[in-house]
């Protein structure tokens, strides 16, 4: 997700930062140099992304690859949730640059229409090796979700959703087959530990932002019917997350440099980063950096068609997430972005 559309809420940061909240503890540090994703207890992660136009999606895929290589996460797969036919090729180009060209990919239904802006995806595909040409070379996102989830231990998978809701709604609606005898709702309820979604402005709420606007019907279906706990890393998290400014000192074929170059012409970061904080929160990478709020409540669709936080809910494990320590967060993201 990401983009200047979030800047209209910047004034709310001062109000939220004044609230007294308790920090969330992260996972214990695990050794580097472990073969990709094999560290004991590493979170099992599927990323659902609208990678195409925005800096934060590309940076999140870059961070995920580094963390996968270090054994901090088990990156099970990545699915595209926008109808850009070469989005999966661009993701494959990033993965391949980090040595992970075998990570399973899935394309959103309708990608053949190729109706979403390509942004930097064509440049990644042009400049970096990749074995995926377009959506024809990968399964649909829902099919991949079903196959991946079916193979995992119960309640073990964290879905990090940093874009539209189309694939998530499709998973809920899916029928038996493609690796599992369970329907989609039952499969998600059995295998997913938590859905971590980047969206909203909590607790007060606001109109529908980009992640909802990509597919409003699917957004409503997921908000109203997801069967596992949800954590919402809202729009406040990214406003001051300005990262990547040193990337143009890296090699010209560094995938994060390529995206940064295309978007910001090697100048200062001209946009915030919402999705990378979402990933780091989801996997417990940093201690004391995030706060969890809203216990006992849940996100709901409000009168504006956007999201608000309802204080009393039947979903006791849902939370929304804000940033407590911005300098530490930014430094961690910049450190991981620079890894080649």
Question: 6: which DSSP letter?
Answer: G
Distances, alpha carbon 188 to alpha carbons 76, 141, 153, 325, in Å: 15, 14, 12, 33
| CA atoms within 13 Å, Cβ hemisphere of 171 | 36
Judged against a pLDDT cut of 70, whether residue 23 lies above it is answered with no
Q: Do the domain assignments include residue 25?
A: no
Residue with the bigger pLDDT between 106 and 19: it is: 106
Judged against a pLDDT cut of 90, whether residue 21 lies above it is answered with no
| CA atoms within 13 Å, Cβ hemisphere of 184 | 17
Query: What secondary structure, in 3-state letters, does 111-155 show?
Result: HHHCCCCCCCHHHHHHHCCCCCCCHHHCCEHHHHHHHHHHCCCCC
Average pLDDT over residues 149-178: 97
Judged against a pLDDT cut of 80, whether residue 9 lies above it is answered with no
Lowest-confidence region among 6-10, 24-28, 30-34, 52-56: 24-28
Judged against a pLDDT cut of 50, whether residue 6 lies above it is answered with no
Q: What is the pLDDT of residue 279?
A: 98
Q: What is the pLDDT of residue 29?
A: 33
Judged against a pLDDT cut of 80, whether residue 163 lies above it is answered with yes
| Integer Cα distance of 27 and 45 in angstroms | 14
Tokens of 171: 């998973």
Mean pLDDT, the chain, as a whole number?
Answer: 90
Domain encompassing residue 53 = 4-17+33-337
Strands across the sheet containing 157-162: 105-106, 74-80, 44-49, 157-162, 192-198, 230-233, 319-323, 290-293
pLDDT in tens, 278-323: 999 999 999 999 999 999 999 999 999 999 999 999 999 999 999 9
Model confidence band, residue 35 (pLDDT cutoffs 50, 70, 90): low
Alpha-carbon radius of gyration of the chain:
18
Q: How many domains does the chain have?
A: 1
Judged against a pLDDT cut of 50, whether residue 25 lies above it is answered with no
pLDDT in tens, 88-131: 999 999 999 999 999 999 999 999 999 999 999 999 999 999 99
Judged against a pLDDT cut of 90, whether residue 11 lies above it is answered with no
Q: What is the pLDDT of residue 1?
A: 53
Q: Do the domain assignments include residue 24?
A: no
Tokens of 297: 């409540």
Q: Do the domain assignments include residue 215?
A: yes
0.85 surpassed by pTM: yes
- Helix, strand or coil, per DSSP, at residue 63: helix
Judged against a pLDDT cut of 80, whether residue 180 lies above it is answered with yes
Q: Do the domain assignments include residue 317?
A: yes
Residue of 307, 132, 105, 314 lying closest to 222 (CA atoms):
307
- Phi, psi angles (nearest 5°) of residue 148: -65, -45
H/E run at residue 157: strand 157-162
pLDDT exceeding 70 applies to what percent of the chain?
89
Measured in whole angstroms, the distance separating CA 134 from the mean position of its chain's CA atoms is 21
Q: What is the pLDDT of residue 39?
A: 63
Residue of 183, 176, 166, 182 lying closest to 221 (CA atoms):
166
Q: Do the domain assignments include residue 291?
A: yes
Q: What is the pLDDT of residue 38?
A: 59
Q: What is the DSSP string of 322-334?
A: EES-HHHHHHHHH
User: Which residues are 308's β-sheet partners?
Assistant: 300
Model confidence band, residue 40 (pLDDT cutoffs 50, 70, 90): confident
Tokens of 62: 């870059």
Q: Print burial letters for 109-122: b (CB count within 10 Å at least 16), e (below 16).
A: bebeeeebebbbbe
Q: Do the domain assignments include residue 199?
A: yes
Q: Do the domain assignments include residue 185?
A: yes
Q: Do the domain assignments include residue 22?
A: no
- Residue 174 belongs to domain with CATH number: 3.90.245.10
Q: What is the pLDDT of residue 178?
A: 87
Residue with the bigger pLDDT between 214 and 18: it is: 214
């Amino acid at each position: 997700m990401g983009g200047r559309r979030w800047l209209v809420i910047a004034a709310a940061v001062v109000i939220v930062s004044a609230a007294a909240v308790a920090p969330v503890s992260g996972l214990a540090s695990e050794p580097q140099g472990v073969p990709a994703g094999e560290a004991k207890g590493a979170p099992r992660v599927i990323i659902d992304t609208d990678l195409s136009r925005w800096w934060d999606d590309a940076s999140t895929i870059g961070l995920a690859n580094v963390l996968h290589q270090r054994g901090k996460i088990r990156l099970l797969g990545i699915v595209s949730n926008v109808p850009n036919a070469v989005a999966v090729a661009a993701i494959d180009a990033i993965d391949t640059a980090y040595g992970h060209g075998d990570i399973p990919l899935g394309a959103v239904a309708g990608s053949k229409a190729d109706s979403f802006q390509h942004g930097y995806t064509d440049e990644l595909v042009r400049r970096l090796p990749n074995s995926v040409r377009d959506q024809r070379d990968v399964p649909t996102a829902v099919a991949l979700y079903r196959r991946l989830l079916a193979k995992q231990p119960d309640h073990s998978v964290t879905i990090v959703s940093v874009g539209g809701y189309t694939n998530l709604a499709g998973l809920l609606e899916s029928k038996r087959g493609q690796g599992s005898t369970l329907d989609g709702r039952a499969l998600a309820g059995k295998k997913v530990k938590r859905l971590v979604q980047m969206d909203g402005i909590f607790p007060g709420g606001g109109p529908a932002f980009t992640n909802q606007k990509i597919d409003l019907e699917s957004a409503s279906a997921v908000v109203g019917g997801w069967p596992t706990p949800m954590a919402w890393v809202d729009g406040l998290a990214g406003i001051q997350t300005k990262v990547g400014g040193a990337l143009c000192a890296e090699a010209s074929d560094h995938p994060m440099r390529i995206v940064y170059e295309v978007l910001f012409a090697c100048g200062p970061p001209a946009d915030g980063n919402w999705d990378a904080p979402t990933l780091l929160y989801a996997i417990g990478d940093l201690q004391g950096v995030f706060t969890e709020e809203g216990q006992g409540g849940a996100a709901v669709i409000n009168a504006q068609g956007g999201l608000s936080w309802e204080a009393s809910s039947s979903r006791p494990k849902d939370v929304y997430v804000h940033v407590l320590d911005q300098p530490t967060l930014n430094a961690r993201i910049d450190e991981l972005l620079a890894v080649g």
